[in-house]
Amino acid sequence: MNSNDLKEKILQLKKEKNAVIVAHNYQVDDVQEVADVIGDSLALSQYCAENDKDIIVFCGVHFMAESAKILSPDKTVLLPEIDAGCPMADMVTADALRKEKEKHPGAVVVCYINSSAEVKAESDICCTSSNAVKVVKSIKEKDILFVPDQNLGSYVAKMVPEKNIILWNGYCITHHKVSMSEVKEVREIHPDALLLVHPECQKEIAEAADFVGSTKQIIDYAKQSESSKFIIGTEMGVLYQLKKDNPDKTFYLLSKGLICPNMKKTSLKSVYDALNEMKYEINLDEGIRLKAKESLDRMLQIS
Ligand code: 13P
Ligand code: SF4
């Protein structure tokens, strides 16, 4: 089947099965084209908590489909590529977190949504890159154990200096490797472009940027900005929406390494197979799900 046939079949199956296709901003263009909703981690979780379809086909990585299942237990949640994981989410386990909590008994545990259901269940509240500052500001206690992203954690620590943020040593393999020499080089080539970066980039990259935000916040910023040129410091998938929203503006990727191999696993063929063969279904232990839901619900109340 060519891609037009696949798109047609996907739309047909989606209708027949009362399914919805949600896609993260980092998905390949073809997949974003067939999606009903495209967004950042927060927007997609909010959507999954509220929609009325029977099946959610989650085009993203494992923790995102898990979050959809945590929030919508009665729905069938499908992850088209079962091996699409997030290496950063794997950098903290529930066991390791329990041990760290023992060392900081009074600390409130904030976990980035890029984490497993078991880690969410061990945490007090979740956050995403778009609401991490707001979530941390909402906490009364001074000591915060922030897992697993050290870069998002450092960014939050800078924005909320009144808190004592204890960092975990996790990082995103895609954003963490962006270097200052790449920033200098691209800034020299495009001196009149604004630099917009994701907080998963290292501290000095965020400090050198004109704007720091989640994928959706970067997309919204570029749309409302009066500038016409932007250097984009996040995964290349966002270029799809940026170019679609702003045909007269120009976007340069900060580094050619800004590709998440896991986000790129999902193709039109895998979305078709997911709907056709009802795979891969995400299921969770009910005890874990309920505890993880408390952390996500607390976040959603604040957002
Ligand atoms: P957001 O979409 O929330 O900005 O997160 C990006 C991300 O790392 C997803 O893995
Ligand atoms: Fe995980 Fe980074 Fe890929 Fe996001 S971009 S899914 S944090 S590896």
Nearest CA to ligand 1 atom 2: 40
Nearest CA to ligand 2 atom 7: 172
Q: What is the pLDDT of residues 83-102, one digit of tens each?
A: 999 999 999 999 999 999 99
Q: What is the pLDDT of residues 156-212, one digit of tens each?
A: 999 999 999 999 999 999 999 999 999 999 999 999 999 999 999 999 999 999 999
Atom of ligand 1 lying closest to residue 263 CA: 10
In SS3 terms, the chain reads as CCHHHHHHHHHHHHHHCCEEEEEECCCCHHHHHHCCEEECHHHHHHHHHHCCCCEEEEECCHHHHHHHHHHCCCCEEECCCCCCCCCCHHHCCHHHHHHHHHHCCCCEEEEECCCCHHHHHCCCEEECCCCHHHHHHCCCCCEEEEECEHHHHHHHHHHCCCCEEEECCECCCCCCCCCHHHHHHHHHHCCCCEEEECCCCCHHHHHHCCEECCHHHHHHHHHHCCCCEEEEECCCCHHHHHHHHCCCCEEEECCCCCCCCCHHHCCHHHHHHHHHHCCCECCCCHHHHHHHHHHHHHHHHHC
Binned at pLDDT 50, 70 and 90, residue 63 comes out as very high
Percentage of the chain lying above the pLDDT 70 cut: 100
Report all structural domains of the chain as residue ranges with CATH numbers, in order of start: 3-85+263-284 (3.40.50.10800), 89-171+288-302 (3.40.50.10800), 178-253 (3.40.50.10800)
pTM of the full predicted structure? Answer: 0.97
Nearest CA to ligand 1 atom 3: 41
Q: Is the CB of 61 under 6 A from ligand 2?
A: yes
